[in-house]
């Protein structure tokens, strides 16, 4: 019998994985690993590993001598050392399409709520006030508002499709986008990130976290944005220098931020963002619906079964030249 180890997860149960893996002859062994040593021990006898947030380093991978495949619960995979896994002959896979609608819905909800200043209105009433203009200004009508999308993959395109009926002018910056693709969604392409930041009233990030994109939104980038602009991030926390963002929010260099992801999660109690009044937080929840969660767990398990049944992985993020068997 083969072992499928779950290193960590926030799921209430693992029935979706068990229903797939146990039927295929796997023993499912869940852990709640917090340290590298716990990870090493958990995976020593693993033939396959499912991971959510644990940091899977080269040192950890070297201890997993039997492991053939790692599946990361989710779209991003920056917590796994992809190149080290490839050198060791271990496939790394993700689940790229389990929550496309949910992530786009959550992003749009954040954009709309931020532009219409729902949170400031709410807080104003809680303070005993009853003011429209005092809270609202400046507030453009949607038909006079520009939304900039940084990255135009599947989620970015879904966001664009949802926003279009509101009448926004939508700009796209994505150096890897095929020419003309944005026009099919009613958007316009800009040549540089700087142009998008200068022109947009709301900026939404839809990028993977890589060495090139880490802190893409830094102090210099924030200075380019309009004083009333909104920054929305439902992608990866490390795209934004959050200490610089906190300074920009406190200094009114930008108007508002809506964040679902953070450089460190949970957001530390002492982080300066927590003292900012002009920010909306959600706890890395953009992926969630009852249906998407079950879909994520099931599809992650199906990737393992696919590999051990002799088929190539459906969603690999590396390609080991000499995969383990």
d(CA 316, CA 188): 32
Residues 88 and 66: their CA atoms lie apart, in Å, by 11
**265 is annotated as an active-site residue:** yes
Could you say which of 106, 189, 236, 302 is catalytic?
Answer: 236
Question: Which is the catalytic residue, given 14, 17, 284, 303?
Answer: 284
pLDDT at 119: 98
Taking Cα atoms as reference points, which of 288, 290, 175 lies closest to residue 234? 288
Known catalytic residue at 284:
yes
pLDDT at 325 over 90: no
Average pLDDT in the 231-249 region? 98
Residue 225 three-state SS:
coil
d(CA 293, CA 9) in angstroms, rounded, equals: 12
| pLDDT at residue 257 in the model | 98
- Annotated catalytic residue: which of 265, 277, 291, 319? 265
pLDDT tens column, 118-160: 999 999 999 999 999 999 999 999 999 999 999 999 999 999 9
154 an active-site residue? no
**If you average pLDDT over residues 11-17, what whole number do you get?**
97
What's the mean pLDDT in 183-190?
97
For 12-38, b/e burial (b = at least 16 CB within 10 A) is eebebbbebbeeeebebbbbebeeeeb
The DSSP element (H or E) to which 202 belongs, if any, is strand 202-205
Q: What is the pLDDT of residues 31-46, one digit of tens each?
A: 999 999 999 999 999 9
pLDDT score at 16: 98
- Beta-strand ranges (E) seen in 81-178 are 91-93, 146-150, 169-173
Strand order in the sheet with 91-93: 26-30, 2-6, 48-51, 69-72, 91-93
Q: How far apart are CA 135 and CA 117, in angstroms?
A: 8
pLDDT at 259: 98
CA dihedral (15, 17, 18, 21) in degrees, to 10, reads: 170
Name the DSSP letter for residue 185.
G
Distance between CA atoms of residues 160 and 5, nearest Å = 38
The predicted-structure confidence for 251-266, as pLDDT tens digits, reads as follows 999 999 999 999 999 9
Cα 105 from Cα 285, distance rounded (Å): 11
Please report the pLDDT score of residue 298 as a whole number: 98
């Amino acid at each position: 019998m083969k072992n499928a180890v779950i290193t960590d997860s926030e799921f209430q149960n693992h029935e979706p994985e068990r229903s797939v893996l146990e039927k295929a002859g796997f023993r499912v062994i869940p852990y709640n690993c917090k340290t590298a040593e716990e990870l090493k021990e958990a995976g020593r006898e693993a033939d396959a590993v499912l991971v959510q947030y644990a940091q899977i380093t080269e040192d950890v991978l070297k201890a997993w001598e039997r492991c053939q495949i790692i599946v990361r619960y989710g779209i991003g995979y920056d917590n796994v050392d992809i190149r080290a896994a490839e050198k060791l002959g271990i496939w790394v896979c993700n689940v790229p399409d389990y929550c496309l609608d949910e992530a786009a819905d959550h992003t749009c909800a954040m954009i709309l709520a931020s532009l219409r200043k729902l949170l400031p209105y709410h807080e104003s009433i809680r303070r005993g006030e009853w003011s429209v203009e005092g809270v609202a200004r400046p507030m453009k009508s949607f038909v006079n508002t520009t939304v900039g999308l940084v990255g135009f993959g599947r989620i970015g395109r879904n966001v664009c499709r949802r926003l279009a009926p509101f009448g926004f002018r939508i700009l796209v910056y994505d150096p890897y986008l095929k020419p003309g693709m944005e026009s099919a969604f009613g958007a316009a392409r800009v040549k540089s990130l700087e142009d998008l930041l200068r022109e947009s009233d709301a900026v939404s990030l839809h990028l993977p976290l890589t060495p090139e994109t880490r802190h893409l939104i830094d102090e210099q980038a924030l200075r380019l944005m309009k004083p009333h602009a909104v920054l929305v991030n439902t992608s990866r926390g490390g795209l934004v220098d959050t200490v610089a963002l906190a300074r920009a929010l406190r200094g009114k260099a930008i108007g508002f931020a809506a964040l679902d992801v953070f450089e460190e999660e949970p957001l530390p109690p002492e982080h300066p963002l927590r003292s900012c009044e002009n920010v909306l937080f959600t706890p890395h929840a953009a992926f969630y619906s009852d249906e998407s969660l079950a879909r994520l767990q099931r599809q992650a398990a199906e990737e393992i079964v696919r590999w051990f049944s002799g088929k190539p992985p459906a969603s690999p993020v590396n390609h080991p030249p000499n995969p383990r068997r």
